[in-house]
Amino acid sequence: MTTGLLLTLAALAIVDSTSFGTLGISVYLMVASERGQVPRLLLYLATVAVFYYLVGVGLMLGLSTAMENFGDALHSEAAYWVQLVLGVGLFALSFRFDGKRGKGPRLEPRMGGPRAMVLLGLTAGTLEVATMVPYLAAIGIMTTAALPAGQWLPLLAAYVALMFVPVLALLGLRATAAAWVEPKLVRLRAWLARHAASAVGWTLGIAGFLLARDAAAFLFFAGG
């Protein structure tokens, strides 16, 4: 496990922390709820975190099996060229999301009971699972690094935890300085609603860059 790997994973986790499921819905719920409903918001966040972690474990186990059968091929120069092309492709695709192609439907989740919050968390995770590009990229990078389970299990847990640091920081600020932070949360909610498409573009672009960077490091700087 190298410092470069850890920094790449940390960068991807920070990008993931801005997704609609982690930050967007949480901001909507904070603005729409009373401060006494924090436990329900935490229940939502815990549901999303556990969902992401279990999905990650499942993907890692599946990819680990593939590595056992096709490890040499996946570590080959050709595989890294495929990763490089994929990264460049995602980066290029990101420019199509300029936020000026129509607003589309607006989702404004509301605070509910414990069951509703768990259901909301599962729904958000399920809807995002196919578009979790940074998360999928991180899992792919950990798989190609051939980390043992004793390393990737806690590393995956740390990745998921880092995804929720920004929203937990906002929650802490709201609890200690509500008068100062709540108007800013309202503006943040409005900004997220206006720039949802642009956020997708940034996510794709950063994930693509990091994938391409990882492949390029092997192809051009590691004697591969």
Nearest to 202 by CA among 90, 102, 124, 107: 90
Kindly state the helix (H) or strand (E) to which residue 196 belongs, with its residue range. helix 196-221
Asked if residue 203 is part of any domain, the answer here is: no
Amino acid 105: pLDDT: 43
Tell me what percent of the residues of the chain surpass a pLDDT of 70: 73
Beta carbons within 10 angstroms of residue 79's beta carbon? 16
Residue 191 lies in a domain: no
Q: Quick one: pLDDT band at residue 104, thresholds 50, 70, 90?
A: very low
**Gyration radius of the chain's alpha carbons:** 19
Domains identified in the chain, total number: 1
What pLDDT shows up at residue 130? Answer: 64
pLDDT band at 224 (very low <50, low <70, confident <90, very high): very low
Least confident of 124-133, 140-149, 165-174, 185-194: 185-194
Decide if pLDDT at 103 tops 50.
no
Residue 201 within a domain: no
Q: What is the mean pLDDT of residues 17-43?
A: 76
pTM of the entire predicted model: 0.66
Report if residue 224 sits inside a domain: no
Amino acid found at 181? V
Within-domain flag for 81: no
User: Domain range for residue 166?
Assistant: 3-75+92-184
Exposed/middle/buried for residue 68 (C-beta within 10 Å: 0-12, 13-18, 19+)? exposed
Residue 219 lies in a domain: no
pLDDT at 156: 94
190: which residues sit within 8 A by CB, 6+ positions away?
Answer: none
Read off the tokens for 69. 């059968």
Q: How confident is the model at residue 41, as a pLDDT?
A: 84
Question: Does residue 53 fall inside a structural domain?
Answer: yes
Residue 20 to residue 16: CA distance in whole angstroms: 9
44-82 pLDDT, tens digit per residue, is 899 999 999 998 998 888 766 655 556 566 667 887 788
Tell me whether residue 195 is in a domain: no
What is the pLDDT averaged over residues 128-148? 80
